[in-house]
Chains A and B, each alone.
Chain A
Amino acid sequence: MNPPICSVRKARFRAGMVCCVLAIIFSAFSYRLIYLQVERGSAFTALANKTQILKQTIPAQRGSIRDIHGEILAGDMPMRKIVADGSHIKPALFSQVTELLANSLELDEKALRTKLTPERRYLVLKRQVPEQTAEDLRSELRRKNAQGIYFEPDSTRMYPNGSLLCHVVGFTDYEGHGIQGIEKSMNQYLEGHPGYKYITRDRAGTELVQHRGLEQEPRNGYNVQLTIDLGLQSIVERELDAAVKKYAPETATAILMRPKTGEILAMASRPYFDINERSKAEAEQMKNRAIIDMIEPGSTFKIVTLSGVLNEKLVRADTPVYCEGGRWEYCAKILHDDHPMTTSTVHDVLVYSSNIGAAKLALQLGENRLYSYIKQFGFGERTGIDLPGEIVGMVHPTKEWSKISITRIPMGQGVAVTPLQMVMAMGAIANGGKLMMPQIIHSITDDHDLPIAQFPPVVVRQAINPETVKALIPALEDVIRKGTAKHGAVDGYQVGGKTGTAQKVSAQGGYLSGKYVVSFVGFLPAEDPEVVGMVMLDNATTRQGENYGGLVAAPVFSSIAGQAMRYLNIEPTLPISPTASPSTALALKEEHD
């Protein structure tokens, strides 16, 4: 029997209603889905990304600073930065975790509990934590099954040689940016570019590697190789320390340079500091006096005047100069010589360091030409060394000179130079008249030791003619042989050089009585100079009448230079005396004392 027609209609109507209701429900869901996915999609995606996706920085390693033989002077020591995500720490383990953190990282537990709340998603607990401490902490956290503590890579700068070469190497600040020395001047090369990666984390904070996003590898900093030879540096510092111990000067400086290339082989200043403990150092200890101390050079400056008159062919080395018996009045001012002479020669003016002779030669040269030669030797301008804070010194233009300036400047008064400028000037004489730019950076390499940049020697200018140098060098040799710097001799080698004894300038004007800056600048072997060196001591404590460059600074130079020759394996050009040792000159001086 067939069902009645009305029943069929009712059934169809009911089915239609159900379908409609279902369609409405599904439409509502669909609308909601579309609304959430399309309308609010980007907002929810951003919200999800905010909680799940994290941009993790991959720090770049800072490049190392090395000496010429590759010995590390500054490098990075890997450390850890401990950070916490408060939302990932289980409340049940909170007190245990804070206690563990406080004990391991030496933090105040009470303060830690206050800071480490579930709302704090990123809290740096401690930076520069040693790897071993971090590893112990990680193991302990794993044992407790605690989450929310993360170990990010970090580093600290280490200086294996401590105080050796401290003024040149410099140091970085807390953020790892160079703030002194090579660390500052070469910061752009030493600093690398940090990388990054976008990571997705699950609810527990564990990274979902399969959803890792964009990744950029870091570019480590370049390594900087210096021209400094740490072997020579340690010789220089040892001898400088001995001199400081003996003479207790306020400051002391020593430099060794290769005249043919301008490469700085060693550079030391006293007082000094340990770079690893720089927070304890005073500002005075941090000064690189070779480039930032301005001193009146004294008689070492006579090389400029004599170079000028010889270069201009106004005189020859054997031209007589009347030295007035050691006392000369010029413009109502008296000028004295320590070694009084009547008639001398240009050669002997340098050998016996005659102030009067130098003044008369300067008068012959004239103000403008003297000024021009001072500039030719690089005084009054930066040498261009790659170290921060170098000063220009002080060379007044001729229009600012007084009437007696022409007689005082030749003996190194009324001008101020840095020790490095003085070394470079003597280096020009030792290098056939070519003034070189001091070079302290040898090369830059990447972290695979592939060269990035090399620094060839730079000739600044031809300061004087080679013929002038030929006339000048015998005089500089005689300064050691029979002149004012007998204690500057080095057994087995012919040395050329010049002493300087300058009265200290008072901050209030004028000169300080009984206080001197003594120096010696020389080169060897004189036949073919390999090394130019300078030793300078400010206000050395000596017996009355012994505070001279030839008696204080020259023996230190001799001691340094003798050992340097042995170290560099430079063959002696003269017979070695049977009892000679590298520090003969200093030993002889001690005996004499």
Chain B
Amino acid sequence: MNPNTKRHTNRLQFAALLRGIIVTAFLAIAGLSYVYLKNQLHVSGLQRRNLEQELNELISENNVMEAQISNLTSRTALQRRLDEGFIKLVPITGQAVVRLHPQENGRWASDTRSVGNQIQTISHEPAARR
């Protein structure tokens, strides 16, 4: 074989090829990552927007409910229901009010009940007819 022929043969330069592949792969990964992250950002943005929308809707619903509760429990609404007979209330007359005045000498403190005092039990069963 002519030595010149051997000289012109294109030999595979693995190191350069590897370097090229690595650079290309790096660039490809970087590019794809960029696109992926950009898409992720977009998806996250959409999720955020949807969550914000849901949250706002919930806040609005809550506010509407609060407003409705205020309306339904307002004094005027209750008075109307009272007038219509939906609520049964009996006015307390003046005689029915008993005012208790704790004595200054501490009657309750000194008159401690001994264990021997008779305890009256209260039954919640309906009383038998006599």
Contacts and interface: CB of A to CB of B under 8 A. Distances in A.
A208 B42 contact: yes
A78 B75 contact: no
A570 B70 CA distance: 29
A281 interface: no
Interface residues of A, number: 32
Contacts of B77: 160
Given A72-B70, A160-B77, A209 B63 contact: no
B67 A77 contact: yes
Interface residues of B, number: 26
B76 A162 contact: yes
A234 B75 contact: yes
B46 A209 contact: yes
B73 to A, nearest CB: 8
Interface in B38-84: 41-42, 44-46, 48-49, 56-57, 60-61, 63-64, 67, 70-71, 74-77, 79
B114 interface: no
B48 to A, nearest CB: 5
B94 interface: yes
Please report whether the interface of chain B is mostly helix, strand, loop or mixed according to DSSP.
Answer: helix
B64 to A, nearest CB: 5
B76 A164 contact: yes
Interface in B70-128: 70-71, 74-77, 79, 93-95, 97, 99
A207 B77 CA distance: 43
Contacts of B64: 77-78, 131
Interface stretch (A83-91, A424-432, A548-556, A578-586): A578-586
Contacts of A162: 76
Contacts of B48: 209
B94 A582 contact: yes
B93 A581 contact: yes
B41 A210 contact: yes
A580 B94 contact: yes
A492 B75 contact: no
Given A77-B64, A78-B64, A492-B94, A207 B74 contact: no
A161 B76 CA distance: 5
Contacts of B46: 209
A120 interface: no
Interface in A170-221: 207-210, 212
Nearest to B48: A209
A578 B75 contact: no
A153 interface: yes
Nearest to A208: B45
B119 to A, nearest CB: 33
A503 B97 CA distance: 43
Given A210-B41, A571-B99, A160 B76 contact: yes
Contacts of A210: 41-42, 44-45
A254 B48 CA distance: 55
A161 B75 contact: yes
Nearest to A134: B60
A469 interface: no
A230 to B, nearest CB: 5
A367 interface: no
A153 B49 CA distance: 15
Interface string A227-249: 00011001000000000000000
B125 to A, nearest CB: 36
A576 B95 CA distance: 8
Contact of B63 (A78, A571, A578): A78
B75 A158 contact: no
Contacts of B94: 491-492, 566, 576, 580-582
Residue among B41, B60, B67, B94 with most chain A CB within 10 A: B94
A386 interface: no
A99 interface: no
A411 B56 CA distance: 63
A75 interface: yes
Interface in B9-43: 41-42
A446 interface: no
Contacts of A491: 94
Nearest to B76: A161
Interface in A121-159: 131, 135, 153, 158
Given A131-B61, A164-B75, A209-B49, A75 B95 contact: no
Nearest to A212: B45
B56 A153 contact: yes
A71 interface: yes
A203 to B, nearest CB: 14
A571 B99 CA distance: 8
A508 B48 CA distance: 71
Given A164-B76, A576-B94, A582-B94, A158 B71 contact: yes
Contacts of A571: 99
A160 B49 contact: no
A163 B61 CA distance: 26
A234 B79 contact: yes
B121 to A, nearest CB: 34
B75 A153 contact: no
A293 interface: no
Contact of A161 (B45, B57, B74): B74
Interface in A58-75: 71-72, 75
B4 to A, nearest CB: 16
Nearest to A74: B70
A324 interface: no
Nearest to A230: B75
B103 to A, nearest CB: 16
A527 interface: no
Contacts of A158: 67, 70-71
Contact of B60 (A78, A212, A576): A78
Interface in A543-593: 566, 571, 576, 578, 580-582
Interface in A436-488: none
A444 B79 CA distance: 28
Interface of B: 41-42, 44-46, 48-49, 56-57, 60-61, 63-64, 67, 70-71, 74-77, 79, 93-95, 97, 99
Across the A-B interface, the 10 shortest Cβ-Cβ residue pairs: A209-B45, A160-B74, A210-B45, A77-B67, A78-B63, A161-B76, A210-B41, A72-B70, A78-B60, A160-B71
Interface of A: 71-72, 75-78, 131, 135, 153, 158, 160-164, 207-210, 212, 230-231, 234, 491-492, 566, 571, 576, 578, 580-582
